Structure 1
Amino acid sequence: MPPKRKGPLQQVQREVDEITEQLDSLLRDVQSQVETTEEGFRRCQELQISSEKVLKTLKKLTKADELAPVGNYEQRKLEEERRLQSILESLDTLSLKLSPPGPSTAAGDVSKEDSEDSNDDSDNDDDHDDDHEDEKQALKPPSQPDPRIYIALSNFRGEQEGDLSVQRGEVLRVIRKTADGWWLAQDTKGNRGVVPKTYLKIGSGVSDEDNDKDDDEDDDKNEEESEEDEQDDEELTEQEKQSDASHSNWSTVRKALTEIDATDVLSAMGAIPSGFRPSTLNKLLVEEGVTYRGSHYIQPELSQSKLSFSDLFLDADTGRVRARQVKTCVCFTLWSCRMIPTPGVGVQVLSRHIHICAFDGTKVLSNIHTVRATYNSKSPKTWSFSPRVTGILPTLLDGDCFLRCNSASPDLGILFELGVTFIRNSTGERGDLSCGWAFLKLTDDTGNPLSNRTYELPVNGGTPYEKDVAMEASVTRGSPGGVIQQMLQARRQPKLIVKLKSVNNRTRTQLSLLPDILLHSLSCVHLLALHRQLLADTLLMNRPTMQNADPICSPVLSTFPVLLDQPDLLDALKSAWLYAETNMSRAQKRDLSYLKQEFIKVYMSSVYFLLHSPSLPCHRWADPSSEEQRARVIYTLLDALKQFQHTTGQSGGPEVFIDTQHQHLAFDVTESTFDLLRVAR
């Protein structure tokens, strides 16, 4: 009976077992010093090449390639990938241990031949070639090329953020290879970024002509460096200089090869699924100050002349803020996310959330709003939004949002970046990762606005600037199968469910009073509209002249924008305002002047008091202990202030600030100063 044929995955498993046995044998031989270091280094390089080849073959396998059905195919394939990654990490460590502390003999011979050729071409450079022969050798890679060590074939200048600029002949370590041809690499100085793979060549495989040109260029540079060194330090001899340069160059290369960041470590541990990346939108929020925060976008925008406002006007007949219609105004609801991969062991997830913004395919056009997802351990791959809670739903969990944008871009849409904030258990290091992204274009192919209905958006891996990066949970879309199999495969794809919806006339009117560009929660529209009315009264009616730009005394205007960056305080204002509205009559609710006066009183006796309370900890994102302590302080003080208001009948008066039961920070003039020139956009 002929032996049963094995499937491709079984063959790969057998090859991985053989590589594991060879690695164990190599480790034993190295430990017992049975063979020379050069022989062990050669075997290590061969195993690295074999492992890379098997890993490349494994990544191309699909379930359709199997001769017979295989249970848990994706899980078995992932286990083999992790085994190979672990083997490659061990081989990298062993290769660095066995590699010589300087250039190999073969590299030295090549350097000498190149220097002799250059001497034949130009007799005037003989002395300089002899002086700097060792420096050339120090820049040469080992004779046996590491599969992850590459040399730049040409100069590349980074044009976008995240690109790595390299010089011709520079030694790079490739950290991650992607299908789009942009590889993540690290240079000898520790800088990281993406480089086109067409600019790189593995090992020392650079053509002789390129080597000759590089040597000539190096000769000229070395001449200048040697002259400067002689002027700076005449006591050092030429041999000492050469020795120091050789040692420093090689140590720099070794340092670049051994340094691994947290993302690489977690990837090797299997804690980060494929398709995850460092969060793009979170980086903008952290590194760009207030540029992409809601507190910046609710400020008035100056006109081109800087003598008036471009988005804030008053209706002369009614005294209200004039409504402004923008090109795009949509309301939508986040329903859920399905089949989102979960981080593995070794990390604790502090927050699952979605960053939302207006996006045209190249740049962010609005503030970045964050909605936190609720998570159930029984369904680890499903994220939900807007949970049913008693009382007021926190703004951070509210999936009902609106977007106002005045951009005329035909590719305008809403970008959703799924993210997690994690802490590494072993080191306590925090980080933010993107679990994929989805994009909802707000117009169809003919340019008409999308209809109000539910949309299932595919979640893509990588960053919004990467294309066709698959998530770990996804399967091959082009694999053959029947209708039922295709339906099952479609259900396994990561999805984000979003619903575009309409709102009532009152909410639509309030939205028209807001800035031309803003993305936020629908539950806060009435508070934002009242703030907009107070802003218009202060800037357009109460200023001595329209050219007057002196600081204005207004505690509400100076501190209200902070609430958009601290949603728990915004929830406190919503709760206090709802309590005040329940005691108003219908006539009072329709009286705008009365509403503005009451809003200022409620604000001063609740949020303004909390902002300057010494017992309230500083706001910190995704810190459970800080969030719990802040919530306890906020609701304790709100209850006490409500009781004080009920007892004394005073709201927002000075009595609340001089009450001995509640402490207050020392007064600072900046907390009540609205500086138009500093905050205006």
Structure 2
Amino acid sequence: MPLKRRGPLQLAQREVEEIKKQVNIISCYLIFQADELAPVGNYDQRKQEEERRVQNILERLNTLSMELSPPGPSTEDSVEEDDNDDDEDDSDEEDVENDSSDDEDERRDVKPPSQSDPRIYVVLSDFKGEQEGDLSVRKGEVLRIIRKTADGWWLAQDTKGSRGVVPKTYLKVQKLNFNFLVFFVDRATHFHWCTVKKALTEIDATDVLSAMGAIPSGFRPSTLNKLLVEEGVTYRGSHYIQPQLSQSQLSFKDLFLDPDTGKVRARQVNTSVCFTLWGCRMIPTPGVGVQVLSRHIRLCAFDGTQVLSNIHVVRAAYNAKSPKTWSFSPRVTGILPTLLDGDCFLRCDSTSPNLGILFELGVTFIRNSTGERGDLSCGWAFLKLTDDAGNPLPNRTYELPVNGGTPYEKDVTQDMKDYQMLQARRQPKLIVKLKSANSRMQTQLSLLPDNLLHCLNCIHLLVLHRQLLADALLMDRPTMQNADLMCSPVLSTFPKLLDQPDLLDALRSAWLDAETNMNRAQKRDLSYRKLEFVKVYMSSVYFLLHSPSLSCHRWADPPSEAQRARVIYATLETLKNHQLTFDLLRLAR
């Protein structure tokens, strides 16, 4: 029987190399569009032309893949066998006959790949191999099917080259795209293909605006905002103020009562600090074409690999005369809004030696031409809370360098060179001051959950909520085994306030008015304070939460914020007038 022919394969390989060069040229064009200083003319048209060119290349690659990847063994096996033939030209015809017979057997099991019978599949759910020969895969992973069998266990190959059998019920057909190229090219060019795939499939508002020169090229999509959006309530303050259950799920691990005083028992954690955001210097400004809705800092506890607390947001004050300077805690009359308050605290029970506070500077913008919204990170800073010896940092002011990219990127120094201000050798700085808490503040902090980051001006409200939780969950239950439903509007709705700072400010204002009317003995009486707190809550915030005139809370939406402010102010004024009338009638009696 004749030996395997090498001529068509070599011709196809040379054609593939030419196609690789063309795609690499296209990738360079797409990736480095962001470095253009001037707006790109006819951007949408040029983008469509490049997409059509790449689509034509994909169609040619699809045709070649059907020739280079016959049914049965994978393309890599065929290439390896050809290499062996080059080293051993005197191979036996008997081996060739065996290979041919194997190919014929595999042709019976699977048809040639085509658009109607694709070979690229996406994993629907995690599968952990239990026997030898199984391939463990994760949800969303892309696989190439090498062989399909009647028993439903298909031979597959993942992006790392590992092979094994996977149940077909865990797989879904994936239309041929750049994922197929990951299997098709060699490892030396793997990075280029992934870059092309990302450039073509993940072109979003950030890429377009960078190409237009509307935002600096060092900006990135916000990492912490993505966690807030995609993870639901996992990283929100409303989740972290809820009491945590113990491992047995039968009791609480961070909520206890002092039997002698009836108050929440204090709990000490590994890290408890107070700090103030002073301001930011030399922060790059977006260019034309976008309107900035909010300049802010998102902050959380971070150990270098994962977020360990809720993600808190503090909005910065902006002065048009100094656009590269952000300030916090501005001098305003009345109560400083929670959203603008840079005085914060952090409680964290983590034992990680790399524990610190992660600050992500961000802007929320809207594109003028299309109305598209986006949230960008314009740098991040990290304050490690211990020195090299493991001792707590001293209380003083720190100037933290603002890095480019994202906190998970290993090399961000080069990324900062894209910032316009580095051309003048002036690096942006975030100014943070660590400060000590007085004895009263330390006592209040010890009553809060083990992991929480929030502003200092709301501690007294959080402590009262914590006391009401302990009363309802520990004191008022007939037995610890009782699991009857509880009716407590305050406890069920209070966590929502941490996700709606304007309502939290409304409660703080109403409670301040109530405390003003208390005498000294009433202020010291915890039972009286709890009853008054429930009354104030039910007559103000609870009413607002269920008011049809109050629109839904939307982040950085000026019309919605203005409408909510009007409703909240009008409601509080009405309640204050009613309370004043009630007090006058009581005095008249």
Q: What TM-score results when the alignment is normalised by the length of structure 1?
A: 0.63
Greater alpha carbon shift after TM alignment, 300-309 vs 325-334: 300-309
Q: Report how far residue 469 of structure 1 moved.
A: 1.7
Aligned with residue 489 of structure 2, among 536, 551, 555 = 555
Pick from 462, 469, 472 the counterpart of residue 528 of structure 1.
462
Instruction: Provide, for residues 464-498 of structure 1, a one-character-per-residue CA deviation record: whole Å limited to 9, x for no partner.
Output: 1112224776589xxxxxxxxx9973xx1122111
CA offsets 1:564-597 (integer angstroms, 9 cap, x no match)? 1111000001111111111122222222122112
Q: Deviations over 1:76-97 (max 9, x none)?
A: x8638979x9999587357458
Output the CA distance in 2 between the equivalents of 1:575 and 1:410: 40
Q: Does 1:280 align with 2:223?
A: yes
Could you list the per-position Cα deviations for residues 647-666 of structure 1 after superposition, in whole angstroms to 9, with x for gaps in the alignment? 12399xxxxxxxxxxxxxxx
- Give the secondary-structure state (helix, strand or coil) at the position aligned to 1:649: helix
Q: Is the 8 A contact 2:264 2:467 kept in 1?
A: yes
Q: Which moved more, 1:122-131 or 1:527-536?
A: 122-131
8 Å CA contact 2:304, 2:354 repeated in 1: yes
Determine if the alignment matches structure 1 residue 460 to structure 2 residue 394: no
* Alpha-carbon offset, residue 424 of structure 1: 2.3
Matches within 5 A, 1:199-278: 199=187, 201=189, 257=200, 260-278=203-221
Q: In the alignment, is residue 92 of structure 1 matched against residue 50 of structure 2?
A: yes
Please state if 1:123 is matched with 2:103: no
Give, as a single letter, the amino acid of the residue that structure 2 aligns with 1:599. Answer: F
Specify the code of the residue in structure 1 equivalent to 2:496: V
Corresponding position of 1:335: 278
Structure 1: distance between partners of 2:565 and 2:572: 10
Displacement after TM superposition at 1:321 (Å): 1.5
CA contact (8 A) 2:216 2:418 kept: no
- Residue pair 1:474, 1:494 contacting (<8 A) in 2 also: no
Q: Distance in 2 between matches of 1:199 and 1:102?
A: 21
Equivalent position SS for 1:587: helix
Quote the Cα distance in structure 2 between the aligned partners of 1:268 and 1:157. Answer: 41
- Corresponding residue of 2:538: 604
Distance 1:440 1:527 in 2: 28
Specify which of 340, 343, 355 is matched with residue 397 of structure 1.
340
Match in the other structure for 1:569: 503
- State how far apart, in whole Å, the 2-side matches of 1:475 and 1:289 are: 33
SS of the residue corresponding to residue 366 of structure 1 reads coil
| Contact 2:38/2:213 (8 A) holds in 1 | no
Letter of the aligned partner of 1:570 in structure 2?
L
* Ranges in structure 2 where 5+ consecutive residues have no aligned partner: 1-17, 86-94, 119-134, 147-156, 160-173
- Quickly say closer, same or farther: Cα 1:171–1:309, change in 2 above 3 A: closer
Give the match's secondary structure for 1:201.
helix
After TM superposition, list the pairs within 5 Å mapping 1:55-454 onto structure 2.
Answer: 79=37, 92=50, 95-96=53-54, 102=60, 122-124=99-101, 125=103, 188-189=176-177, 199=187, 201=189, 257=200, 260-454=203-397
> C-alpha separation between the residues in 1 aligned to 2:235 and 2:23?
48
1:100 Cα deviation after fit = 9.4
- CA shift, 1:450, in A, is 0.3
Task: Give the SS at the match of 2:37.
Answer: helix
Distance 1:204 1:515 in 2: 47
- Whether contact under 8 Å (2:36, 2:211) holds in the other structure is no
C-alpha distance in 1 between matches for 2:237 and 2:581: 37
- Once the two structures are TM-superposed, the CA of residue 52 in structure 1 deviates from its matched residue by 4.4
Is residue 624 of structure 1 aligned with residue 582 of structure 2? no
Q: Which residue of 1 aligns with 2:154?
A: none
Aligned residue for 1:386, secondary structure, equals coil
| 3-state SS of 2:262 partner | coil
C-alpha distance in structure 2 between counterparts of 1:555 and 1:593, whole Å = 18
Separation in 2 of the partners of 1:270 and 1:331? Answer: 39
Q: Structure 1 475/424 Cα, relative in aligned 2: closer, same or farther at 3 Å?
A: closer
Report what 1:582 is aligned to. 516
Call closer, same or farther: CA 1:126–1:442 in 2, change over 3 Å: same
Residue-by-residue CA offset, 1:81-116 (whole Å, 9 max, x unaligned): 979x99995873574588696469999997899899
Contact 2:329 2:341 in 1 (8 A): yes
Q: How many residues align?
A: 500
Residue 417 of structure 1: how far off its partner (Å): 1.4
Give distance in 2, aligned partners of 1:324 and 1:254: 51
Structure 1 partner of 2:150: none
Q: Would you say the 8 A contact 2:38–2:212 is kept in 1?
A: no
Q: Is the 8 A contact 1:171 1:188 kept in 2?
A: no
Partner of 2:88: none
Q: CA deviation at 1:431?
A: 2.1
- Tell me the SS of whatever aligns to 1:539: helix
* 1:178 aligned residue: none
Cα distance, 1:544 vs structure 2: 1.0
Q: Distance in 2 between matches of 1:191 and 1:606?
A: 55
Q: Percent identity?
A: 67
Counterpart contact for 1:300–1:309, Cα < 8 Å: yes
Give me the whole-angstrom Cα distance separating, in 2, the residues matched to 1:367 and 1:403.
10
Which amino acid is the alignment partner of residue 328 of structure 2? Answer: F
- TM-aligned CA deviation for residue 357 of structure 1: 0.9
Kept in 2: contact 1:473–1:494 (CA 8 A): no
Counterpart for residue 582 of structure 2: 648
CA distance in 1, matches of 2:191, 2:265: 67
Opposite residue 442 of structure 2, the aligned amino acid is R
Moved more, 360-369 or 381-390: 381-390
Instruction: Name the stretch that deviates more: 425-434 or 600-609.
Output: 425-434
Distance in 2, matches of 1:318 and 1:378, equals 55
SS of residue paired to 1:527: helix
Once the two structures are superposed, what CA deviation does each residue of 1:591-650 show, in whole Å capped at 9, x if it has no partner? 212211211111111111111111111111111111110000000010001101111239
Given that residues 275 and 469 in structure 1 are in contact (C-alpha distance below 8 angstroms), is that contact kept between their aligned partners in structure 2?
Answer: no
* Equivalent pair of 2:23/2:54 in contact (CA under 8 Å): no
The equivalent of 2:10 in structure 1 is: none
Distance in 1 of aligned mates of 2:57 and 2:292 = 39
What do the CA deviations read for 1:31-81 (whole angstroms, capped 9, x no partner)?
xxxxxxxxxxx999789849949999x99xxxxxxxxxxxxxxxxx86389
Query: What is the CA distance between 1:276 and its match in structure 2?
Result: 2.2
For 1:204 and 1:619, how far apart are their aligned partners in 2? 43
Report the equivalent of 2:472: 538
* Residue 635 (1) aligns with residue 569 (2): yes
SS of 2:189's equivalent? strand
Given that 2:19 and 2:57 are in contact with CA atoms closer than 8 Å, whether structure 1 keeps it comes out as no
Give the distance between the partners of 2:551 and 2:477, measured in 1 at CA.
Answer: 36
Q: 1:513 to 1:268 in 2, by over 3 A?
A: same
